[in-house]
Amino acid sequence: MAITTRVVERPVNEASYVRATFQGLALTFKHLVDPHKVTVQYPEEKWDIGPRWRGTHRMLTTEDGKAKCVACGLCPTVCPANCIKLVPGVDAEGNRYPAVFDIDEFRCIFCGYCQEVCPEEAIHLGRHYENAEYDRKDFVYDLTRLTSQTHAVCEMWDPADPRGE
Amino acid sequence: MTHALFALLQVADPQRSPTDGMFILFGLIKAVAAFGIYMLCVAYTTLAERRVAGWIQDRLGPNRVGWEGFLQPIADGVKNFMKEEALPGSGNTVLFILAPAMAFVPAMITWAVIPFGSPLPVPGVGLVDMVVADLPVGFLFTLAISSLGVYGITIAGWSSNNKYALLGGLRASAQMISYEIAMGMSTVCVLLLAGNVNLNAVVAQQASQGWNVVLLTLAFFIFAVAGLAETNRVPFDLPEAESELIAGYHAEYSSMRYSMFPLAEYANIITSSSLMITLFFGGWDIPFTQWDNLPPWTVTKTLLTMGLYVFKVMFFVFAFIWLRWTLPRFRYDQLMSLGWKVLLPMALVYITVVASLVLGLDAAGLARTSYAYRGAFLGMNLVFVVLVFWVLDRGRIVSPAFSRLERDRITRLQTAAARSDLLTGKGA
């Protein structure tokens, strides 16, 4: 007998078998006929996901359809998973723009630092979870993909409203 | 060839003339129909189990394939056939392949002797019994065959060359032996009352005397518990106890060969339910009326009694499933102690009392169908029900966790634990 073994005495006086079984059967029968079921019939019904849900990214655009990003380089710097690849470019008017902006969603840990650090409010995490692809390389989202996403974006944690109300 | 067949048929039913061609024809029809319906029921019991499990756990269960999941068993079957089969490298391959069939077939054979309806009149032929094989020793046949199913499980465990599978197989055989005795003993009471081992005679006795569950409730209770143990269902599913033996005897099985074991379990449930009904719930008898038990036999009577029989079987199958999703599993020593120390003595005492009562009442010259006879049994039954389900049910534990230790040793350990912080873990 191991030194730490504790002998637990059962409440023998309260023990019963047949009656306890019938009580248990009554309880399970109550659940059996209970019309309230917790199952969500997934493809038809979906859960409402929270406003701070952090899913796959989305790049917001200006009115003329260009990405809001100014290629400042803050998001690749802050990214702890090192999943953002940014190559800046300069257009004819001298404005910086992202020539390449790839996010590897497999590397991403969905911490949301990129959204938090972005001075232009360009890159956002999305309130979205259906991300299946047929090919692994499709999980590296390029700028076209990021700007064409339409799902709602994550509302980051606000210290003034810690519960998100 | 045909002579051998006739000889076999005569062995099956000596009352028939061996040249009775119609008997062969109807035997064939009944066998094929019963087999088909039985297999269909087994398949749909798997669906019933999963849906009822879902509902009990506030889920929905499989409801996607076909209307409310009605094609799910077919989808499961296709899936299992398509899966890869793996054979254990160092196991006994022949026995490994044979075992699933050995587990499945006995459950099916048992069903052959169970009557499922009142005789059907067929123009030009006469009465056709609604039982596949009306054996004169019907009940002994079911006892003999139903315990054969455990060979499949034990051999599956042995041939897998896997320690968990072997343990599961051994548990199954030990469990079967222990509960087979209690089961046989509990049915002795029924046979005493019926005075016959033919299952049709047992049904007829209950039609005239009242259902055995009313007269012999304790025997039914023992039979039901033993039946649960024999079908390896929760709370007695020790052979496949996931938490300790992975999947027990079928740990090494895959594909359709694996699937045969659950199917055998469901087949056993149906057979066990049918036996319970035949022995204790009047078989195909419609209660509170003698209309269905007396000639003239009509097609309507056959259909009604068969319908009621199917309904009773369905109820008991549901009860099996219901119990499974209600009760936790027994510990192994509790299982053994329940079988040997509770059910067996209980059954022995009960046999003695029932036999004395039958002997005494017969000696007193009472007719078996008279109200005095039935009343005496009802009174005896009431005493036992109150005693077992009310008085003895409270304040006792089947093999508690501390029963293997001496009482004073426990006290010594407890005082030592109270003295030392190290023992209670507080000092760490």
The string of pLDDT tens digits covering residues B193-231 is 888 888 888 888 888 877 888 888 888 999 999 888 888
Nearest to B394 among A9, A16, A38 (CB): A16
Are B395 and A8 inside 8 Å of each other by CB? no
Nearest to B425 among A1, A4, A29 (CB): A4
| Pairs of residues, one from chain A and one from chain B, whose beta carbons lie less than 8 Å apart | 75
Residue A36 or B398, more confident: A36
Cβ-based neighbour number of residue B195 at 10 Å: 12
Residue B265 or B8, more confident: B265
- Please tell me the predicted confidence (pLDDT) of residue B375: 84
Lowest mean pLDDT among A157-161, B86-90, B107-111, B326-330: A157-161
Confidence band, pLDDT 50/70/90 cuts, at residue B140: confident
pLDDT, average across residues A134-161: 84
For B310-369, write each residue's pLDDT tens digit.
899 999 999 999 998 998 888 888 888 888 888 899 899 999 998 898 888 888 877 777
- Please tell me the predicted confidence (pLDDT) of residue A109: 92
Are B60 and A37 inside 8 Å of each other by CB? yes
Is residue A164 over pLDDT 70? no
Lowest mean pLDDT among A94-108, B119-133, B376-390: B119-133
Contact between residue B319 and residue B293 where contact means Cβ atoms under 8 Å apart: no
Those residues with Cβ within 8 angstroms of residue A127's Cβ, 6 or more apart along the chain or in another chain:
A49, A50, A51, A53, A55, A151, A152, A153, A154
Q: What residues are paired with A96 via a beta bridge?
A: A90
Residue A46, domain member (yes or no) = no
Is residue B254 over pLDDT 70? yes
- Cα B285 to Cα B211: distance, rounded to the nearest angstrom: 9
For B16-28, write each residue's pLDDT tens digit.
565 566 677 777 8
- Please tell me the predicted confidence (pLDDT) of residue B322: 92
Confidence band, pLDDT 50/70/90 cuts, at residue B13: low
Write out the two tokens for A103. 């996010």
For B40-93, write each residue's pLDDT tens digit.
888 899 999 999 999 999 888 888 888 888 898 889 889 988 988 888 878 788
Provide the mean pLDDT of chain B. 82
Chain B CB contacts of A29 under 8 Å are 322
Are A32 and B56 inside 8 Å of each other by CB? yes
Are B393 and A32 inside 8 Å of each other by CB? no
Percent of chain A with pLDDT over 70: 91
Number of domains in chain A: 1
- Please tell me the predicted confidence (pLDDT) of residue B1: 47
- Please tell me the predicted confidence (pLDDT) of residue A134: 92
Confidence band, pLDDT 50/70/90 cuts, at residue B428: very low
**A39: nearest CA partner in chain B:** B59
Chain B CB contacts of A7 under 8 Å are 401-402, 405, 410, 413-414
Q: Which domain holds residue A92?
A: 57-148
Complex ipTM value: 0.75
Are A39 and B394 inside 8 Å of each other by CB? no
- Residue given tokens 């076909």 in the structure block: B66
- Please tell me the predicted confidence (pLDDT) of residue B426: 54
Confidence band, pLDDT 50/70/90 cuts, at residue B405: low
Are B401 and A17 inside 8 Å of each other by CB? no
The CATH number of the domain where A125 resides is what?
A: 3.30.70.3270
Q: Is residue A125 within a helix (H) or strand (E), and if so which, with residue range?
A: strand A123-125
Distance in Å, alpha carbon of A33 to nearest chain B alpha carbon:
7
pLDDT, average across residues B139-167: 85
Is residue B181 over pLDDT 70? yes
Percent of chain A with pLDDT over 90: 16
Question: What pTM, to 2 d.p., does this model score?
Answer: 0.78
Nearest to B327 among A7, A15, A24 (CB): A24
- Please tell me the predicted confidence (pLDDT) of residue B123: 73
Is residue B408 over pLDDT 80? no
Q: What residues are paired with B130 via a beta bridge?
A: B117
Where do the structural domains in chain B lie, given as residue ranges?
76-395
